[in-house]
Chains A and B, each alone.
Chain A
Amino acid sequence: MTNIATAEQTVTLEIARYRPGVDQRPTLQRYDVPYREEWVVLDALNYLKDRVDGSLSYRWSCRMGICGSCGMMVNGAAKLTCAAFLRDYLPGPIRIEPLSNFPVERDLVIVLDDFMEKLTAIKPWIIRDEEQPIEQGEYRQTPAQLADFKQYSMCINCMLCYAACPVYQHEEQFLGPAVLALAQRYNHDSRDQGNADRYELIWSDEGIWDCTFVGECSAVCPKHVDPAGAIQQAKVESTLGWYRSFIAPFGRR
C-alpha cells in the first residue's frame, strides 16, 4: 500500500529533444516523473506532456500494443513504449530516443516515408489472375492453409525490426524485415496468385539477399512475426527457383 504522506518515488527520464531548423543535433533533456508500479514508458511521456512540458513530440495511439505507433529506443533497445514498464528499468535514469536508423522529424518522431514506399512496392494485397465470380461465394481456406501465412499477417508496422537491423542501418536500398515478411504473407496465402509479381523485387540484391541473418529483427518483434525466418525461407525458395530456372527456363515460376 503506498503511503501518500511520504515523499513520492520518482524516476528520471533522459529524453532526446530535436527542434528542426533550430537544433544541429538531438540532445538529451532530463525530467523527473512520478514512479507508479503499473506505469509504462508511454504513461510517463503522457504525464510529462500533460503536466510538465507540452512541447514534447511523440507518436502513440492505442496504448495496448496493436497500432504500432509508439516505437522508440528505450535504453538503446527498440521497444513499444506502451509495453515497456518503468519497473523493469529501475532505478533509472531511463533513456528514451527516437527509433534508430530513421531520420528524425522532431523529438521522438521519425520520418517513415522510406518504409511506407517499400511497403507499397511489394504489392501487399491479394493478386489474382481472375477474380472468382461473386456467385461462387468466398475464397475458402483450410486451417493448414491459414497456418501457412498467419504468423506473417500479425505485423503491426511498428518498425522496431528496422531499428534493430544493422543492414538497414547501412544499406538505404534494403527492403527490410517487415516488408519482406509481408511479401511472404501474400506469397504463402493460397488465395494469392501474385508470387511472380513480387519475386522481381524480393529476390533481388536489395531484397532478401542483403540480409545476413543477424536475427535481431525477430528478437525485438512485439508480435512474434519472425521476419528473419520469413526471409530465410524466401532464400530457400529463391534458390530452388534459381536452380529450377536452368532446368525448365520456360516454365511458369
Chain B
Amino acid sequence: MRRSNEPLFWSLFSAGGMLTALLMPALILVTGFLAPAEWVEYARLEALVTNPLGRLVIFAVAFLTFFHWAHRFRHVLVEMGLRRFGLPIAVVCYVAALAGSAWAGVVALG
C-alpha cells in the first residue's frame, strides 16, 4: 500500500473547518440578521471589500470553506453507498471547489 496523498486535502479540510467554526456564526449574524435590520452601512462595507486585506479575507474564507465542503461531501457520498465511484466523486468535488474558489477570486477583486 503506497502512502496516501490524502494529507493535502485533509489539511485544507482542517484549515477550512477551524476557520468556519470560528468565523461563520459571526458572518451569518451579519448577513442574516444585522444587514436586514439595516444595522450595517453601505459605506463601511464598501471600505471593507475594497481594502486589500478585506479582499484576501473574502477569498480565503471562500476557498477554505469550499474545500472543507468538498472533502467532507465526497466522503459523505461514499459512506452513503457510492464507494464504487469514490474516485470520480472526489474529482468532481475538488474541481467544483476550485471553480467556486476561482469565482470567489473574481468577486473579491470586484
The interface of chain A, by Cβ under 8 A from chain B, is: 166-167, 170-171, 199-201, 203-207, 209, 212, 235, 238-239, 241-243
Contact = CB atoms under 8 A, between A and B. Distances in A.
A147 B105 CA distance: 47
Interface of B: 1-8, 10-11, 14, 75, 79, 81, 83
Given A239-B7, A239-B11, A243-B7, A166 B79 contact: yes
Nearest to A206: B1
A154 to B, nearest CB: 27
A171 B1 CA distance: 15
A207 B8 CA distance: 16
B7 A242 contact: yes
A238 B4 CA distance: 9
Contacts of A207: 1, 4
Given A170-B79, A171-B83, A209-B6, A204 B11 contact: no
Contacts of B81: 170
Contacts of A166: 79
- Looking at B2, B6, B14, the one whose CB has the most chain A CB atoms below 10 A away is B6
A2 B75 CA distance: 55
Contacts of A205: 1, 4, 6
Contacts of A209: 4, 6, 10
Majority-rule SS of B interface residues: helix
Nearest to B86: A205
Contact of A239 (B10, B75, B83): B10
B10 A200 contact: no
A199 B75 contact: no
B1 A212 contact: no
A205 B4 CA distance: 6
B7 A212 contact: no
B7 A238 contact: yes
B93 to A, nearest CB: 14
A199 B1 CA distance: 10
A219 B11 CA distance: 25
Given A204-B1, A207-B1, A167 B79 contact: yes
Contacts of A200: 1-3
A176 to B, nearest CB: 15
Given A200-B1, A205-B1, A207-B1, A170 B7 contact: no
- Looking at B2, B3, B4, B11, the one whose CB has the most chain A CB atoms below 10 A away is B3
Contacts of B6: 205, 209, 238
Contacts of A206: 1
B51 to A, nearest CB: 31
